[in-house]
Amino acid sequence: MSINEAQMTAYEALPDEALSDMARQGDQDAEEILIKRYNRLVRQLARPYYLAGGDSDDLIQEGMIGLMCGVREYDGQRAASFRTFAERCIRNRLYSAVRAAARDKHAPLNQSVSLEIPFFDGSCFGAMAGENPEDLVIDRERVQDALSDVRKQLSDFEAKILGYYLDGLTIREMAKAVLRSPKSVDNAVQRIRRKAARHLQAGDISKG
């Protein structure tokens, strides 16, 4: 094992908070490990927007910017766990992107909704300062009802894929889990997206 490999192995055993502190001091290896460690969380938080009509690559990029912000601004003396802080930064960046896109009637995100209630603490870029959360998200109960209705339109296979997808699994990971080809899984994701987007964008969301 090379010196660099040994160092990376040692780094991987460190807690998030220690890695963040090292990253703030300019340690790129520590930053890289944290980014990899939280890549799935970024996908998980961005995917509801994709199902509602957003662009997957753009959303992931925005989420990664939020994560980078969290890595570089985390202060263990002022915040809770690094994960909590990073999640807030990612969410705020996504909401900021949705808000910006909503100003353009042709933007793909202008009908996006979130499946979670966000944290609005002004951290990381001061996102959401002075804005009304109701302008960006619909409440948890209504979205859960909407997803319940969407699931009724899915086959058993599609419903299983939806669960894995919202958990942040990659296409290959889902394919392995369901013993199908990546192409078959990707096709299912596209079908789910079309059904979810039609349902959510039509505003057919009601409390049961």
Phi, psi of 129 (to 5 degrees): -60, 125
- In tens, the pLDDT along 111-147 reads 444 444 343 344 564 444 444 544 444 444 555 666 6
Q: pLDDT above 70 covers what percent of the chain?
A: 70
Q: How far apart are CA 41 and CA 37, in angstroms?
A: 8
Statement to judge: residues 52 and 73 lie in one domain = yes
Statement to judge: residues 77 and 157 lie in one domain = no
What is this structure's pTM?
A: 0.72
Statement to judge: residues 128 and 100 lie in one domain = yes
Statement to judge: residues 29 and 97 lie in one domain = yes
Domain-terminating residue out of 83, 105, 137: 137
**Residue range of the domain that includes 36:** 1-137
Domain-terminating residue out of 137, 154, 169: 137
The pLDDT value given to residue 184 = 97
137-145: long-range contacts at Cβ-Cβ below 8 A with a sequence spacing of 24 or more? 137/95, 137/113, 138/113, 138/114, 138/205, 140/115, 140/116, 141/207, 142/205, 142/206, 142/207, 143/113, 143/114, 143/115, 143/205, 145/205, 145/206, 145/207, 145/208
* Number of domains the chain is built from: 2
Q: What is the CATH number of the domain that holds 160?
A: 1.10.10
Query: Taking Cα atoms as reference points, which of 44, 43, 36, 40 lies closest to residue 19?
Result: 36
Check whether 4 has a pLDDT greater than 80.
Answer: no
Domain-terminating residue out of 137, 152, 181: 137
Statement to judge: residues 94 and 182 lie in one domain = no
Q: Which of 43-57, 62-76, 170-184, 194-208 has the least mean pLDDT?
A: 194-208
Statement to judge: residues 132 and 148 lie in one domain = no
